[in-house]
Amino acid sequence: MNLAISVHHLKKNKHHKTQIKQGMKTEFPFTDLHANIEEYYEKTDHKIRADQPHKFTNWEEIRSYYPLDKDIVYLNSGTEGSMPVQVLSEYNDYLHKWASNPSYYFAFNKITQDWQKVNRAKVAEFISTTEENLCITSNTTEGLGMVIMGLPFEEGDEVIVSLQAYPSLISPLNVLCKTRKIKYKIVPLPTYLDTKQEIVDAFAAAITPKTKAICVSHITYTTGLRLPVKEICDLARKHNAISLIDGAHATGMIPLDMEQIGCDFYAAAGHKWLNGPPGTGILYIREALKNEHKLLPILSELYGFENTYSITDMLQIRGCNNTPGYTALCGAIRLNTDIGKERILNRILELNDYAKERIIEEWGENALISPFGSDKRDLCSGIASFIPSRDYNKRFDEAFITGLSSELINNYNIWIRYINFVNDPSVTENKTWALRVSTNLFNNTDDIDKLFDTLVKIA
């Protein structure tokens, strides 16, 4: 598929427009997957097994691994990814094994047992660190909470966050404001920006002698802005502040190297762009054996009984976890690595550029609120947010945006989501409302055309 295809070319091919039938319901085509994996492989021609290396051939083949309902257009990996058949089969396989002898698979089997050493090593390699610095979690929220609630913040300490931080980061900070009288400061991020430096400068200006930590999203959930996390972590270190990155959207989308980023903590999701099972996430702790920042394990079975455990071991051992899911997460990692991390990033960005071109073509440059252009590539991600109108004021019209989002889902089976945010914390009445489209590796230009052809009709 030629991604350089212009929007003009598309215009000429309107007969490719969506054929989605309203209100149509389909049977999930893989209902027998649980019953018999082998039979499933026979039937569906998916011969690629989770435990075998995968060779990239083309994107349409990759797309065929994802058992997405044929009648939906799925452009919302920013909320949840889908699991490819390889991951589903590995998950099911280990769930079946678990059911066959639960105590053995909980405590003794080296793949599924609670310490998770084997899987932690695989996940660690994926983000260029080592097993002792890594804990497998249930999601990003859990990792962020483990760090924020576990750090020894004291009354008067200040934490800096960016304006478009996700509630999972703000919520534990709110608890600490109440219980330990810390304060957090919100740094406004310019909506339209040209360089990484503008972002770094905004954080630098917010630092005071009381700043104890800087917490930022690697990619914002609102506009998909990719933040210069390495530069922000350097800045934090220069001021003796702890750095915590919310990497919910980065894992699986962009190649990650913890050493290169240089953060103290990185919390991420396995169930979004990486297309791992629900309830899977990652927490990285820099030089966990030293535990430089004296993180306490707020969720653990081990603290206080012996002082020989590392912080990541203590956080890993927190009751019964979904370790068959963690095993399948490693399947998702293997597939991602086999396809190629850079190739996936390029694919995601190319599809997103294509969506952005269509936004500009249909509604003009002002309609697009995410960064765009080859000179801003390192600010871009697989998320594009936009207002499907040439009327500038429609961005403040909640009913217009939420109505369109519901109509797309309910009448056209097109799954995206809406977002809202403020540019300036002191002016909250002018909240911006926008639609958000996520382009993952399994999407194609037809998906994107279906979305925009439909929006042109209904917006």
Ligand X SMILES: Cc1ncc(COP(=O)(O)O)c(C=O)c1O
Tokens encoding 158: 């200040």
Asked if residue 254 binds ligand X (CB under 6 A), the reply is no
Residue numbers 414-453 binding ligand X by CB under 6 A:
none
Residue 265 CB, nearest approach to ligand X (Å): 14
What would the x/- binding string for ligand X be over residues 190 to 229, using CB under 6 A?
---------------------------x---x--------
Exactly one of 140, 191, 321, 454 binds ligand X (CB under 6 A); that residue is: 140
DSSP E strands in 240-382: the ranges are: 242-247, 265-269, 281-285
Exactly one of 77, 86, 116, 139 binds ligand X (CB under 6 A); that residue is: 139
| Residues 6 or more apart whose Cβ sits within 8 Å of residue 178 | none
Residue 322 identity: N
Nearer to ligand X, 95 or 227 (CB): 227
Residue 308 CB, nearest approach to ligand X (Å): 30
Are 225 and 195 spatial neighbours (Cβ–Cβ below 8 Å)? no
Asked if residue 371 binds ligand X (CB under 6 A), the reply is no
Position of tokens 């490819």? 84
Residue 95 identity: L
Q: What span, in angstroms and rounded, lies between the C-alpha atoms of 247 and 446?
A: 29
Closest CA to 232 of 207, 267, 268, 269: 207
Asked if residue 135 binds ligand X (CB under 6 A), the reply is no
Residue 69 CB, nearest approach to ligand X (Å): 21
Nearer to ligand X, 119 or 381 (CB): 381
Q: Give the alpha-carbon dihedral of 299, 79, 59, 70, to 10 degrees.
A: 120
Closest CA to 324 of 275, 274, 267, 277: 277
Tokens encoding 133: 């610095």
Nearer to ligand X, 95 or 274 (CB): 274
Q: Characterize 36-66 residue by residue with b for buried, 16 or more Cβ atoms within 10 angstroms of its Cβ, and e for exposed.
A: ebeebbeeeebebbbeeebeeeebeebbebb
Exactly one of 246, 264, 313, 447 binds ligand X (CB under 6 A); that residue is: 246
Exactly one of 153, 166, 354, 363 binds ligand X (CB under 6 A); that residue is: 166
Nearer to ligand X, 280 or 454 (CB): 280
Nearer to ligand X, 37 or 248 (CB): 248
Nearer to ligand X, 105 or 184 (CB): 184
Asked if residue 273 binds ligand X (CB under 6 A), the reply is no
Residue 213 CB, nearest approach to ligand X (Å): 16
Q: How big is the site for ligand X, counted in residues (CB under 6 A)?
A: 13
Please report, for residues 86, 122, 254, 401, the alpha-carbon distance to residue 338 in angstroms, rounded to integers and kept in the order given.
12, 13, 14, 39
Residue numbers 21-60 binding ligand X by CB under 6 A:
none
Positive or negative torsion for Cα 139, 344, 189, 293: positive
Residue 105 CB, nearest approach to ligand X (Å): 25
Closest CA to 253 of 270, 237, 236: 270
Are 158 and 181 spatial neighbours (Cβ–Cβ below 8 Å)? no
Nearer to ligand X, 89 or 336 (CB): 336
Helix (H) or strand (E) holding 140: helix 140-150
Q: Which residues pair with 213 in a beta bridge?
A: 159, 242
Exactly one of 269, 332, 387, 434 binds ligand X (CB under 6 A); that residue is: 269
Asked if residue 281 binds ligand X (CB under 6 A), the reply is yes
Residue numbers 64-103 binding ligand X by CB under 6 A:
79
Residue span binding ligand X (CB under 6 A) among the ranges 29-37, 138-146, 153-161, 338-346? 138-146
Residue 371 CB, nearest approach to ligand X (Å): 16
Length of the chain: 459
φ/ψ (deg, to 5) at 231: -65, -35
Q: What share of the chain is helix, strand, coil (3-state, %, to 5)?
A: 45, 15, 45
Nearer to ligand X, 168 or 316 (CB): 168
Residue span binding ligand X (CB under 6 A) among the ranges 8-16, 93-101, 136-144, 378-386? 136-144
Asked if residue 256 binds ligand X (CB under 6 A), the reply is no
DSSP E strands in 218-307: the ranges are: 242-247, 265-269, 281-285
Residue 16 CB, nearest approach to ligand X (Å): 31
Q: Which residues bind ligand X (CB under 6 A)?
A: 79, 139-141, 166, 168, 217, 221, 246, 248-249, 269, 281
